[in-house]
Amino acid sequence: MRPIFYVFCPETHYTRYQHSTLESATKEAERLARLHPGRFFQVLAAINQTICADIHREFAPGIHVEDAPDTPF
């Protein structure tokens, strides 16, 4: 997993851009703070990610694996 940083304003609950470095996110937080005096901006870091890798496939009665392609196109 690569590090991902977000700039978050608790007042607006808005964040969009994923920064790849802490420096980039910090600069953006400073830019936004200057643009919006009185609001504060937090730099958040994603510390882990989770994915479920177990896939279970069920086929309709009478359909066999060789009849069902892996992709729908």
- 62 lies in some domain: no
- 14 lies in some domain: yes
Element (H, E) at 32: helix 22-35
- 38 lies in some domain: yes
Q: Residue 69 pLDDT more than 70?
A: no
Range of the domain at 43: 4-51
The pLDDT value given to residue 16: 78
Domain count, the chain: 1
CA-to-CA distance for 6 and 44, rounded, in angstroms? 5
Report if pTM > 0.75: no
**Residue 68: pLDDT band by 50, 70, 90 thresholds?**
low
- 44 lies in some domain: yes
CA-to-CA distance for 39 and 14, rounded, in angstroms? 12
